[in-house]
Amino acid sequence: MMIPLPHNPVRSARSAFLQAAWIAALASSGCVVPDSPADPDPPLPAAAVDWLAPDSLRGRTVSDGVSYHFAWSARGPWALHMVAADLNRCELELVVVPALAEDGRTRTRETVTAMVPNGRVTALAGVNGDFFAPGGAPVGPEVTSATQRSSTRPGIAWDAQRIPRIGPGAARNDSAPRRLQVVGGFPELLDGGIRVGDLQVGDRPDFAAARHPRTAVGFDPGSGVLWLVVVDGRQLPRSAGMALPELTELFLALGVAEAINLDGGGSSVMTVAGETVSRPSDAAGERPVGNSLWLVRDGSACEGDQRGSAADSQATDRPT
pLDDT tens-digit series, residues 68-117? 999 999 999 999 999 999 999 999 999 999 999 999 889 999 999 999 99
Please, is 45 exposed, middle or buried when counting C-beta atoms within 10 Å of its C-beta (0-12, 13-18, 19+)?
Answer: middle
Confidence at residue 158, expressed as pLDDT on a 0 to 100 scale:
86
C-alpha closest to that of 173 among 188, 155, 192: 155
On whether residue 240 sits in a domain, the answer given is: yes
Strand ordering across the sheet containing 78-86: 56-63, 66-73, 78-86, 225-232, 214-220, 258-261, 188-191, 194-195
On whether residue 32 sits in a domain, the answer given is: no
On whether residue 17 sits in a domain, the answer given is: no
Confidence at residue 304, expressed as pLDDT on a 0 to 100 scale:
63
Please give the Cα distance from 253 to 147 (Å, whole number). Answer: 35
CA separation (Å) from 220 to 30, 94, 133, 225?
Answer: 48, 15, 31, 6
Answer yes or no: are the C-beta atoms of 82 and 227 closer than 8 Å: yes
On whether residue 96 sits in a domain, the answer given is: yes
On whether residue 239 sits in a domain, the answer given is: yes
Q: Which residues of the chain have pLDDT under 50?
A: 1-37, 173, 175-176, 309-320
On whether residue 47 sits in a domain, the answer given is: yes
Strand ordering across the sheet containing 275-276: 92-98, 291-297, 122-128, 270-272, 275-276
The one-letter code for the residue type at 224 is G
Confidence at residue 299, expressed as pLDDT on a 0 to 100 scale:
84
Range of the domain at 279: 39-308
On whether residue 294 sits in a domain, the answer given is: yes
Alpha helical stretches, state H, the chain: 9-28, 46-52, 206-209, 244-254
Confidence at residue 19, expressed as pLDDT on a 0 to 100 scale:
42
Specify the number of domains making up the chain. 1
Please give the Cα distance from 319 to 188 (Å, whole number). Answer: 34
C-alpha closest to that of 127 among 40, 233, 214: 214
On whether residue 246 sits in a domain, the answer given is: yes
CA separation (Å) from 237 to 82, 85, 246, 281?
Answer: 21, 31, 18, 13
Q: Which uninterrupted H or E stretch holds 271? A: strand 270-272
Q: Which uninterrupted H or E stretch holds 70? A: strand 66-73
Please give the Cα distance from 15 to 32 (Å, whole number). Answer: 20
Confidence at residue 20, expressed as pLDDT on a 0 to 100 scale:
44
Q: Which uninterrupted H or E stretch holds 158? A: strand 155-159
